[in-house]
Amino acid sequence: MRTNRVRTSGRARRLRTQVVAAIAVAGLVAACGSDGDAPTEEAGGEGAAGGDVSIGLVTKTETNPFFVTMREVASEYAEEQGVELTALAGEFDGDNEGQVRAIEDLIAQGVDGIMITPSNSSGVLGAIEQARSQGIVVVALDTATDPEDAVDATFATDNFEAGRLQGAYVRAALGDEEPRLIMLDGTAGGTVDTFRHDGFLEGFGLEEGDPAIVGMENTQGDQNTAQTAMENLLQRSPDVNAVYTINEPAARGAYAAIEARGLADQITIGSIDGGCEGVQDVADGKYAATVMQFPAEMVRQGIDAIIEAAEGGEPPSGFVDTGSVVITDDPVEGIESEDTEWGLENCWG
């Protein structure tokens, strides 16, 4: 577990215009990349709300740009609200034991609330139950627990819908071509991975096991792992014409392998994340489209909900969809999208 201390129900789909409005109200935040083993520091101060409220944030890793952005936004917003924040992370995507230790540490500190992006949707349930039994509000960010009501509330992308949008776009972009699809998944057992995978297949119009799926590998959402997986899959299926990727690091790895084989013009790559680097990759033609999510909005809404509960208000409950938007410079009929200029202005807001 790495430590960096920095002082409702139902899957309702938000309209694109609601996402834009939310960003306009909340402000824009861009991802900056990892600082590796960052020094320990505290942030917090006198704000309009929060008082003596203390909150813990537990992310899957501290190196993935998505979670780097979450930590940065959480630190800034906690300071604005006068909240004490402790940010912890697993050593790697899938480090369930590290996340359990992080929750136990936060329980020992006596925090008022915990925000977590679970690496394993069921592996942290015991620690979450222990926290809630002591009156600590627990909310999931980005990744739902299984069952979903193991936490008080979830603030996240509707990942099935995000996957469906990616699948529908990639299939439409192929036109009349018969699909030969490779799927680069994330980590087995995660709800995000399952929802995005299943949503993609629905949007693409395929069922699991369809012969059009010519290859599939788990990548843990890691660029190097994805590149190796793609290199191996291309050896077996060089005539692939479509690639699903669980996130943008996986998409970058896939593109590196595809470009090295001279197949970039043959293959349509889709992804999900919407980070500034990913949007620039779309603008540069490395992949056709990405589905933008809004981690900054997840964090801000999570902090607000915990503050309200800690100050005697209603605790949060249910699933809150924080929205998703297709980003591409090659729009297709029937799929609402924004171009990369808009994407670079709003990435991860």
Instruction: With beta carbons less than 8 A apart as the criterion, state whether 168 and 145 touch.
Output: no
At 295, list the tokens: 């981690």
Q: Given CA atoms 301, 306, 312, 318 in this order, what sign does their dihedral have?
A: positive
Pairing of strands 84-89, 2-5: antiparallel
For the beta sheet containing 289-292, the strands, ordered from the edge strand earlier in sequence to the opposite edge, are 213-218, 181-185, 242-245, 268-273, 289-292, 325-327, 337-338
How far apart are the C-alpha atoms of 79 and 43, rounded to whole Å? 6
Vertex 325: Cα angle to 322 and 331 (nearest 5) = 170
- Per-residue confidence (pLDDT) for residue 349, from 0 to 100: 78
Predicted pLDDT at 93: 80
Residue ranges of the chain with pLDDT lower than 70?
Answer: 1-51
pLDDT tens readout for residues 195-223 = 999 999 999 999 999 999 999 999 999 99
Long-range contacts of range 309-315, CB-CB < 8 Å, 24 or more positions apart?
309/112, 309/113, 309/137, 309/152, 310/53, 310/112, 310/113, 310/137, 311/49, 311/51, 311/53, 315/137, 315/152, 315/153
Name beta bridge partners: 3. 88
Residue 62: predicted pLDDT: 87
Q: Cα(340)–Cα(349) distance, rounded to whole angstroms?
A: 14
Q: How far apart are the first and last CA of the chain?
A: 27
Integer Cα distance of 83 and 86 in angstroms: 10
The pLDDT value given to residue 190: 78
What is the pLDDT, as a whole number, of residue 25? 34
Furthest-apart CA pair in the chain: how many Å?
60
Determine the pLDDT at residue 30: 34
Give me the residues paired with residue 141 across strands: 155
Neighbours of 48 (CB within 10 A): 7
**pLDDT at 27 (0 to 100):** 38
